[in-house]
Amino acid sequence: MPARPPEPTIASLRDAPSEGAGDSLASYWTFYWAVAEAQLTRWLPRRPARVLDISGDRGRSARRAAGAGHSVLEVRDPMLERPGSGGRVASGNGHRQQGNGQSARGRSATVVAGDSGALPFVADASMDAVIAENRVLSRHLATEATVTEIARVLRPGGRVLLCVDSLTLGMALLAEQNYWAHLSDVPSAEVVLVPWPDGTITRCFWADQLRELLTEAGLEVEWIRPRTVLSPSAVEHVLSSSPRALPRLVRTELNAPPADDSLGIHLLASARRITQDP
């Protein structure tokens, strides 16, 4: 009987910048990005809107939003995008326009380099939607300040879609690196900063912590759920035997009932600005 492949380590589950990154988890990441794309498509406004994308995913979310007919401002933060900068401690306020992209439907995706945590170049209440995908709020370690800025630039009724690292991921990372003393402090900690094996830092959240952070910024939480409920090993097993099962797996994930947030390595949340001044 052939040996079963080992379970992937938590360190191997860092969100990758391109589809299929990592030979051992290529099928899982293909599934992950397909789910992320479908979730974003469902979430985007139905009418043409002004969308701010601070995800730092090299245009993935911006292209999807522009392709759906929205005018998109994509912010690329040099402090977050340079190699090895998993946790952001400080960034300048300078910014410059890098160029314009055009979607197939004629909407623009404008790219600007700047501080995605402070957004000094975005006017108050000027955006209908904000996309903060790709774990960007876990890489902005002062997450409260970034969320306050998101609330500031959203018009009343505007919405934000965001993705963060979960405490499930954080505790597994600590255990994998034998940080037992740090692990024992997690239940009582208000802020949990976790090192990756490469020395970068991530901030991790339970759903209740994320809900409180958003609420304090003047945002009404619509829902919080794991990015995926299906495990990497289950996805790899199914797709290795039936590659054409990908659309069925994505539909299964999208139609899954609300799940315990402890199931996911990443949490996805949607919130709406409900006040004039957060």
Residue type, 101: G
Question: pLDDT tens digit string along 37-90?
Answer: 999 999 999 999 999 999 988 889 999 999 999 999 999 988 776 544 444 333
Instruction: Point out the least confidently predicted range of 184-198, 213-227, 256-270.
Output: 256-270
Please give the helix or strand (H or E) that residue 193 lies within, else none.
strand 192-195
pLDDT in tens, 114-161: 999 999 999 999 999 999 999 999 999 899 999 999 999 999 999 999
* Pair type for strands 219-226 and 71-76: unpaired
% of residues, the chain, pLDDT over 90 = 55
Give the per-residue pLDDT at 88: 36
Please give the Cα distance from 31 to 110 (Å, whole number). Answer: 28
Cβ atoms of 63 and 101 within 8 Å: the answer is yes
Gyration radius of the chain over CA positions: 18
Please tell me the distance from the alpha carbon of residue 276 to that of residue 198, in angstroms, as a whole number: 42
**How many C-beta atoms lie closer than 10 Å to residue 250's C-beta?**
20
The predicted pLDDT at position 11 comes to 62
Treating both helix axes as pointing N-terminal to C-terminal, what angle do 26-43 and 246-254 enclose, rounded to 10 degrees?
50
Confidence of residue 201 (pLDDT cuts 50, 70, 90): very high
Can you give the pLDDT at residue 82? 52
User: Is pLDDT larger for residue 207 or for residue 189?
Assistant: 207
Q: In this predicted structure, what is the pLDDT of residue 164?
A: 95
Its pTM stands at 0.85
Residue 190 CA to residue 172 CA, distance in Å, equals 18
16: nearest Cα among 57, 77, 54, 55: 57
What is the DSSP code (8-state) at residue 156? E
Average pLDDT, rounded, for the chain: 83
Q: Is pLDDT of 105 > 80?
A: no
Q: Side-chain half-sphere of 250: how many Cα atoms within 13 Å? A: 20
Contact 18, 213 (CB under 8 A): no
Residue 197: is its pLDDT beyond 50? yes
Chain centroid to CA 11: how far? Answer: 17
Rounded CA-CA distance 219/161 in Å is: 12
